[in-house]
Amino acid sequence: MSSSAGSRVVVTGATGNVGTSVVRLLSEDPGVKSVRGLARRIPGWSPAKTEWSAVDLASDQDNLAERFEGADAVVHLAWAFQPTHDPATTWRTNVLGGIRVFEAVAAARVPVLVHASSVGTYSPGPKDHPVDESWPTHGWPDAAYCREKAYLERTLDVFERDHPEVRVVRMRPAFLFKWQSASEQRRIFGGRFLPGPLARPDLLPFLPDVPGLRVQALHTDDAAEAYRLAVHSDTARGAFNLAADPPLDAGVLAGLLGVRPVRLPRTAARSAIAAAWGLHLLPASPHLFDAVLRLPLMDCTRAHTELGWRPRRSSTEVLQEFLEGLRQGGGMETEPMRGRKVG
């Protein structure tokens, strides 16, 4: 795709967990001429070859097609996780905003669209063996995050039919972590009442072992490398699973933290989460917890063979780095990623 002069890439959601990694890798890539980062607030962080534009995808006042003019690729990462008690608000940003991005890509005649889908788009699946990208993508309808991700997959089905001239790539990563994302993710999922020092293993008497709680993780920088490869590829189309080994369950986590796992029934764990969510003490909803228990494990063979992508870090290394970030208040010079120690 890239010319001898280098590619021009636009990144939405450029100041968040994934966006900061994607922007950094693109800015360091000699095959990229310029990066335009779109975010609700202009950050103090300023990588080489990068310019910023303030854009709110929840508003229809911005002419996105003008922002995309002359771009060789658009990487769509923007996503709002909160407020979890008001799914209409996240729908406006995530779904309606995503549709505006897709329409603007077509209007500006951008040849490549790389979209951030998720493992959360998959229908319930197995925990004992991985599935490939052909697994159904209807999400878990009770969880807003999964419902919105799945809806955008259906929207892209129509978009690809109507705009075959656009090379569309759908990334479906596992849960993404890095040191710099720790404070942001604590706020998104744990809330202001979760102090970072509680990530210390010596303060955990045991680790809850909930049936079905077996998931995959990936370092955000490793996911960003897959996005970079997809931008430059001439042939990559469709969906790509992204995850690192090994899958994380109570046994792996207990060994990592040096604590003992204790079996906890699903109903007890969900009741505790539902009570905290209902009292607005915990941002993560019980519906998302239900979805996590049902997510399938993903087979990443297609990303390995067609993109030439492999993660550099194991899932346990990722988790260790993230826990260190929780303890230290890891963050960056962007509004979503601001670091803060708590407790």
Domains and CATH numbers, the chain: 7-182+212-249+293-328 (3.40.50.720)
pTM exceeding 0.85: yes
Cβ neighbors of 255 (< 8 A, separation 6 or more) are none
Distance CA(81)–CA(148), nearest Å, equals 11
Structure confidence at residue 314 (pLDDT): 97
How many residues are recorded in the chain? 343
Q: Identify the CA nearest to 29 among candidates 225, 169, 174.
A: 225
Residue type, 218: L
Residue 80's CB: how many other CB atoms inside 10 A? 20
CA triple 39-244-137, angle to 5 deg: 65
Residues of the chain with pLDDT under 50: 2-4, 197
Q: pLDDT value at position 82?
A: 86
What pLDDT shows up at residue 4? 40
CA distance 180 to 186: 11
Interatomic CA distance for residues 338 and 125, integer angstroms: 35
Letter string b/e over residues 307-317, b meaning 16 or more CB atoms within 10 A of that residue's CB? bebebebebbe
* Residue 253, token pair as written in the block: 């986590």
How far the first Cα of the chain sits from its last, in Å, is: 49
Secondary structure of residue 79 in the 3-state scheme: coil
Nearest to 61 by CA among 97, 90, 89: 97
Q: Which tokens hold the place of 110?
A: 């951008």
Which residues, in sequence order, are bridge partners of residue 217?
175, 244
DSSP, residue by residue, 17-30: HHHHHHHHHHHT-T
- CA separation for the pair 8, 24 (Å, rounded): 14
C-alpha–C-alpha distance, residues 239 and 234, integer Å: 15
Burial of residue 343, with CB atoms counted within 10 A of its CB: 0-12 exposed, 13-18 middle, 19 or more buried: exposed
> Are 333 and 45 within 8 A, CB to CB?
yes
- Which pLDDT score, from 0 to 100, does residue 341 have? 66
Q: Which residue has the tokens 């990229």?
A: 32
